[in-house]
Structure 1
Amino acid sequence: MTNKRYPDEFKIEAVRQITDRGHSVADVSKRLDVSTHSLYAWVKKFGPDAEANKSRNEEQAELKRLRKELQRVTEERDILKKAAAYFAKQSD
């Protein structure tokens, strides 16, 4: 398994061969000596639907962040409820 690094221009041109010129992923893979897995990843990153994927990933990251924040705030609320009940009981 090789860890070759390819410039973005090379990746974009490979994606264009697949999307614009209609070549198959397997064909481009053989001609450029690149794995099909890499080509599919490049199509996802640089292809025509890349902007939609990017916005979807950003939305998923925001949703994950908000869920984490909600969990933290819920835990803080529960702790404050318990503390308020404890101090109310102590003041009696």
Structure 2
Amino acid sequence: MDDVTAELLQRIERCEREVQVSRGYIKGLEYGLLAVIAASPEPERLLVLWRQVVDAYVESDAAGESKMHHLATRQAMDVVGDHIRAAVRKRKH
């Protein structure tokens, strides 16, 4: 294996480690957020606030983000909204 190939492999391995660390961090945040949603005494108010957050993100046009980053962020925000709406429905029943 030449030096260029070895360097590329090292860079790929470093990127893979960074992705795994980021995924773990995001998973921890996800569980924390789900706990906050579940414990919210007023999920309806949380939903109003969340809609404002999503609208502000959309209005900002995600300046400087790649299309992939923007779509992934919106997907994650939609999932959070789904969880909040589920909490609202659960509370009403």
For the aligned pair, the TM-score class normalised by the smaller chain equals: 0.3 to 0.5
Answer 1 or 2: which has greater helix percent: 2
Q: Which has the larger radius of gyration?
A: 1
Output the TM-score relative to the length of structure 2. 0.41
Which has the bigger relative contact order, CA under 8 A and spacing at least 6?
2
